[in-house]
Amino acid sequence: MNLVRNLNYANRLNPIWQQANNRANRYLNKLLVKEALKTLPAMLLFKIRRYQKFISAIVIVLLVMLFLAHQNGYAQADSTAYYKKLALENKHYPKNNMQINLSSLALQNYNFSYEHSLSRKITFMAGYRYMPLSTVGDISLVKTVVNKYLNDQDGLKNDLSNISTGNKTFTGEFRFYGGKHPGARGFYASLYGRYTNMQVNYNYNYATTAQKYVVPLQSSLKGFGGGLMFGSKFLIAKRVTLDWYIIGGHYGKISGDGQAAVNLSTMSSADKNNLKSDLESKFTIQNKNYVTATVDNNGVKTNTNGPFIGLRALGFNLGIAF
């Protein structure tokens, strides 16, 4: 009986004991939290002091990364705008150009050319030059140079006044441009070929001891050559271009025949040989004769076979881009 009573008494005390135990645990946990909160700042300060250099380095790295990200955002925005503008230029730049050579007008040449873009910085140009038959000595630029810089001891002025010339010339060239702008703009190098059909008339005065003769020599010459030129093209207005031939030249071959119908039956054989030598000597360069002449009673015949040499420099062309 006593054992049963004791068990019943213990069962009644068990809930009371559990409640007391729970209250004690809650109180103890509060005390631990309070103590932890009191010691936390000190512990954090200790840790911060211990790893101060490491934390400072991390903060600096984060700040630098933030700054770079900010700048990169601006750079990407600027770069995007630049490339959009460049793409627009690449798509809509003028691909054709018509121009006239202003410098050739001083030599009574009328030079026109058309240029077309084959790709972003490669173009093809076709040119045509026409010079009407003109007396060389009467060309204003030639006259100015001769009067200012040359004397007339060798009869040069008289020879130029007796020579008239005209030509039709065709030029085809490929141009390779540099620079960031699309189309035919900037410094360029060109490879070109040139064909010319030239007429040269020369009223040659020849005197013997007995008589004076005028030999009206008329020659038709054809030449073909190729060369290299450097230049630069500028866009001086929205659609106006200036093309500057800096320096260039070509080399090739020129040939043709000439004749002068004149009665030379009264001229002696010796004088005919002298006339032949005299004509050929005018076209001799470094002891090499490029013109051969035949003289008989009916006049003079010539054959020309020599180098086709030309210079392209200091030319200024005004053009319209479209």
**C-alpha distances in Å from residue 161, one per residue of 138, 146, 165, 199, 279:** 7, 11, 11, 16, 17
| Domain layout of the chain by residue ranges | 2-89, 94-321
The amino acid at 262? V
Rounded CA separation 90/64 (Å)? 37
**C-alpha distances in Å from residue 248, one per residue of 89, 227, 231, 244:** 30, 7, 8, 11
Short-list 292, 291, 290, 295, CA closest to 261: 295
Residue tagged 């093309």 (tokens): 243
Phi then psi for 119, rounded to 5 degrees? -150, -165
The more confident residue out of 142 and 174 is 174
The structure's pTM equals 0.69
**pLDDT (0 to 100) of residue 287:** 81
Rounded CA separation 128/300 (Å)? 33
**pLDDT (0 to 100) of residue 93:** 86
The more confident residue out of 2 and 109 is 109
Tell me the per-residue pLDDT of 216-236, one tens digit each, with 9 for 90 and over: 999 999 999 999 999 999 999
**pLDDT (0 to 100) of residue 285:** 80
**pLDDT (0 to 100) of residue 78:** 57
Tell me the per-residue pLDDT of 277-290, one tens digit each, with 9 for 90 and over: 999 988 888 788 89
Tell me the per-residue pLDDT of 25-65, one tens digit each, with 9 for 90 and over: 666 566 655 665 566 555 555 555 665 666 677 777 777 77
Rounded CA separation 217/292 (Å)? 13
Examine the pLDDT at 152 and tell me if it is beyond 80. no
Examine the pLDDT at 190 and tell me if it is beyond 70. yes
Q: What's the CATH code, domain 94-321?
A: 2.40.160
